[in-house]
Every structure is written in C-alpha cells, then in structure tokens.
Chains A and B, each alone.
Chain A
Amino acid sequence: MTATTAARPAKRLGIKEKYALMTRGLGWDTTYQAMDDVFPYDKFEGIVIHDWDKWEDPFRLTMDSYWKYQGEKEKKLYAIIDAFQQNNAQFNIVDPRYINTVKLFLTGVTPLEYAAHRGFALAGRNFRGTGTRIACQMQSIDELRHAQTQFHTISHYNKYFQGLHDATYMHDRVWYLSVPKSYFEDAMTAGPFEFVTAISFSFEYVLTNLLFMPFMSGAAYNGDMATVTFGFSAQSDESRHMTLGLEVVKFLLEQDPANVPIVQKWVDKWFWRGYRLLALVSMMMDYMLPKRVMSWAEAWEMYFEKNGGALFEDLARYGIRMPKHYEVSIKEKHRLSHETWNVFNNYGHAAAFNVWMPRPEEMDWLSEKYPATFDKYYRPRFEWYAEQEQAGKRWFNNTLPMLCQVCQIPMFFTEPDDPTQICYRESSYHGMKMHFCSDGCKNVFDNEPEKYIQAWLPVHQIYQGNCFPEGTDPTVPGFNPLVEVLKYYHFQLGADGGEFNTSPDRANWEKWTGQDLSAAPQAKAA
C-alpha cells in the first residue's frame, strides 16, 4: 500500500448510503438452489410481491449502529437495576398491591417476548427481501433482550413477594395465561406475512401503546423504578418494531391490489384478538395500579380512537378501512375493566396474584371516570362484595367458567348494546357446538374453524383430568380438584393468590416497612 492512499481517509457515509450498503449490499440471489426452494413459505398465503427492493426500512439503522445503541441501553438499564437492588428500592413502592401488576406482567407478557424472539427469527428466515430480513433479525434479538431484562429485573421482586417463582412453567398451563399464550401461538403458526401483520402491525403499531405507555408511566407513578426502566428500555425498541409493522403493511398494499383484501382480513382478525387480550390491561390500569395515570377509557380514546384513527385514515388511500368490530370496542370502553376485574376478583383464589375490592376513594375515582356506568352497574356489586368480606364471608367462585373458543377468556363480556346481558355466540362445526364471547371472536373462528377447534382450553383440560399432578387419584375420599389443579400449576396454596387483605404479601409488607395498612380506608359496606 502506498503512503498516499493510506493518508486519504474515505469520506464518512451518510445514513442513507450506509443503510443501502449494509443491507441491500449484503444480500444476494442464490444460484445453486432456486430462490423458491430456499424461501418456500413466502407465497402460500396468497400475498404477491413483485419487487422486494421497494421495501424500505424508514429507520435506517444498520447492524453496527444497532449494537452500539443496544449496548448503551443495556448498560443504563443494568446500572439502574443494580442501584435498585442495593438500595432495597422495592420498599419505595407506594402500595404493595401494586406488585400484583408486575406479577401479571412477568407471567403473562414476558414469555410473549420470548415467543416474539422465536417468531421473528422464523419470519426473518422466511422472507427473501434483505431489508425485511434485517429488520426481523434486529427485532428477534430485541425480543430476547426484553425477555432477559424482564427476568433479571423481576427476579429481585421474587425474593420479597409471592407468585413470581415459576413464570414460564405457569405460562404454559394456567387458565388466564392461556389468553396471551394462545394469542401468540396463533400468530406463530400462521404464515410469515400474517405473523408480521399480526404482531408488528396490529399489535405493536395499533395496540402496544396501550400496554407499555400507561403501564410504564404507571410504574413510575407508583414508585417502581425497576419496571419503568426495563419497560422504557424495551419500549425504545418498540418504536422500531411499530415502524416495521407500518412498513410491512404499506409494502404489501403497494405491491399488488390482490394483497388488499388479504391484509384487511388479517387486520380485522388481529385487531380483535389483540383487543380481547388487552382486557387484562384494562383491569391493570383501572384497578391494579394504586395510583392511576389515566383510565382505560381515556387511554382507548387517546391511543386507539385518535391515534389509531389517524393511522387508518392514512391507510384509506390503499382501500383499507377501520378493523371490523372496532365500534364494539368503543361501546365496551366504559365497562371492560369493571367486567374483567369482577371476574378476576371472583377467581382470585385460582390466580398467582392477589385481588381486592377498591377502597372508597378508588370507587369515587371510578365513578368520576365512568359516570355513565360505574355507579349504575358495578358499584353496588362491589360494595356488596366488600360487605361480605368484612363480615368474614369473602366469596370466591368455585365453579369453572365457560371459555371462549378463540380468545380463551371466560365468557363474561356483555352485549354491545346491553351491559346487563352476557354476550353468547355460537357456531357449529362438523356437528360440534363452539362458543364465543363476541361477534369478533365468532368471526375469527368462522374464517378458520379447523385451526381453532384444536385450541387447548384450560377449563376443558381440567374437566378431562389433564391438569392434576402426575399420579393424582381423583377417586380417593376428600379429593379436592381445585387444590390439585393449583398444585399442577406450581402455585403455593394460600400464598400466591387470593384476597390481598389476608395475604402473606400484605403481612410481610407491614412487618418489613412498619406501615400499618389497616389504617388505609377499606371499601365501605353499602
């Protein structure tokens, strides 16, 4: 090498040039094997792609920058987690009831992060476009990072609080955790285009703001520095994922008009599936956060009706309309969280987190946020529960609920136009009757019945005797099916679930912090 060439450094590349060189520039078409044999799964869904090069990732993030920024995020996160642990910051939480949102998150959402890691690795393998593959690769690594950081963060809470000791095992078995699990597995068993439309677009772009923004902001408000930190660290990747989602959908719609009805059908399906999953988030926001950032109804208006509305208006030029049944979500917004918490409160003895009735000032907050519904439909019932509890007759429901064949949530949602009537829908398939919680779920089933008849429904499985510890003999005298099911779930009886007011978490909190929680006003009896 001569001295003159070594002395002249190459001009620094701009973002666009660097992106082109380090994504497209790294791809090639195979010649020893036909491209169709190497990428066998990107055609069977009926999606037509004429030119993969038309794909553009608007975040022009290349792998080298990706590692740099992700490394920085990790260092920040773990420094905070270290400080949190050293300083016993778990006791800075405003109210120990708050921890139950973290329990639900770790058992319900964290395993989904891991599933997303697998899902995007698979999707990335199956797309032949280079830009798409790289975006999926980054997301796959992101999701693994999220699962890891969440376990690392929450493992500290496991030293002090119940219900956090076996999250992945529980995720595969517990009745309410089958809701997020089946949602994600439904997406992973679809083709690659449906998978990214489901997860990147319908979930990440349209709905995930409702999970991460109010929940992480809520964590900050409730003094949980650890969760704020992993949450916003994850969410900073989420913006990239959302962008992938919007880009995927625009790309499919621009490539061929034949893609439009296919995409619309997926948007309809995955909006509804995601919305039903968010019923769990609605009760976290309105009931489980002791200090509340905003109500579920307000969050739905802000993130779905306003921001989602803007998105669908932008997509209208491609012939895409608002997702089917979206109007039902608007009708339900003033009752969703109350109906959901009511049922969880009735089944808290079979959950890995504690439940409770709102305190009087919390009931007043609910009345204020839900003036048309709370006092009329829910307050009287909740005050009656509180009265029973104070009389020493805390009530739990000992019968198993009927589950919706599609969303797997107990069938407690009410008719879109009548909050006093439970909504039941059914379809027949090869002589078998299938039950659904809504027109939305029935619609999903009717489009792909052969998929959903295979659903692993926890209640059916319990009745079939598949959810007892190995060697259990149901014929012995005194056999208690509920106790055996909870053992099968690896729940610690009397510790992990049930009423907060009589829980070990509450007793420990009082012992360790010296606070007297009975001084806090209890729900008043009517």
Chain B
Amino acid sequence: MTQPVFIALQTTDTGRSIVDAIVADNPLAQAVEYPAMVKIDSPGRLVVKRGSVEERLGRRWDVQEIHLDLISLAGNIDETDEEFSLQWRKA
C-alpha cells in the first residue's frame, strides 16, 4: 500500500494558486477544505512546480515563498529551484 503524504496550506490569495497548481500537477491528489485552510493528501508523492504556480499567480514565484502560506506537511522533502516535493520512500 502506498502511504499518503500531505501538505496543508492557508487559503490566502497565493495559497489558493498553489493549491490549484498542486491539484493540476498531481492527478491522484485529493484536496479537502477546512475553515481557513486546505489539506491535500496524495499517495506516495506530491510535487509543487514553480512554473505551474507562476502561471496561476501571473508573477514570478520563488519555491521558498511556499513558507509564507504553508501550514503543515508529512513526507520526506526535496527542494530545488524548480520544484518542492514530498515523498515516502518505497519499501
């Protein structure tokens, strides 16, 4: 069984664009809305792509700007200039 990773983001203006980008780039991701936040679960892996976020925001976006809207996460992180990903290693 592939265990879920998750990310939770604030429903701020930027946060909404990040959520939209994640849902578009991760077909298996499931977003659930709570008051003031969205939690997205995804089996095994989840990726946030700079290009996809920028497309939705209509401006430049540094991957590390995710810190401003992030609430919580689970999974091993990898961070480059192009993307931010979460994953559990396959057994």
- A residues sitting closer than 8 Å to B (CB atoms) are 14-16, 58-61, 65, 69, 72-73, 76, 208-209, 212-213, 216-221, 228, 232, 235-236, 238-240, 242-243, 246, 293, 306-307, 309-311, 313-314, 316-317
Contacts and interface: CB of A to CB of B under 8 A. Distances in A.
Given A15-B81, A59-B77, A307-B74, A217 B68 contact: no
A69 B70 CA distance: 12
A65 B3 CA distance: 32
20 contacts: A14-B81, A15-B79, A58-B79, A60-B79, A72-B68, A213-B39, A217-B34, A228-B36, A235-B72, A236-B10, A238-B71, A239-B67, A240-B67, A242-B72, A243-B77, A293-B34, A307-B6, A314-B88, A314-B89, A316-B91
B74 A317 contact: no
A212 B36 CA distance: 12
Contact of A209 (B34, B72, B81): B72
Contacts of A213: 8, 34, 37, 39, 71-72
A6 to B, nearest CB: 27
Contacts of A317: 89, 91
A317 B90 CA distance: 10
Given A58-B77, A217-B34, A221-B35, A69 B69 contact: no
Interface residues of B, number: 31
B30 interface: no
Interface centre among A76, A208, A217 (most CB of B within 10 A): A217
Contacts of B6: 307
Contacts of A240: 67
B26 interface: no
A307 B3 CA distance: 8
Contacts of B77: 58-59, 243
Given A73-B68, A220-B35, A313-B91, 17 more contacts: A16-B80, A61-B67, A69-B67, A212-B72, A216-B37, A217-B34, A217-B37, A228-B36, A232-B71, A236-B68, A238-B72, A239-B72, A240-B67, A243-B77, A307-B6, A307-B74, A317-B91
B73 A310 contact: no
5 closest pairs, A vs B, by CB? A310-B3, A220-B36, A58-B77, A220-B35, A221-B35
Nearest to A234: B71
A188 B34 CA distance: 35
Nearest to A60: B79
Contacts of B79: 15, 58-60
Nearest to A72: B68
A110 to B, nearest CB: 19
Contact of B71 (A60, A69, A235): A235
A141 B39 CA distance: 27
Contacts of A76: 68
B64 A69 contact: yes
A317 B89 CA distance: 10
A221 B37 CA distance: 11
A310 B81 contact: no
Nearest to B67: A69
Contact of B35 (A72, A208, A218): A218
Nearest to A220: B36
A62 to B, nearest CB: 9
Interface centre among A58, A61, A72, A314 (most CB of B within 10 A): A314
B63 interface: yes
A23 to B, nearest CB: 14
Contacts of A235: 70-72
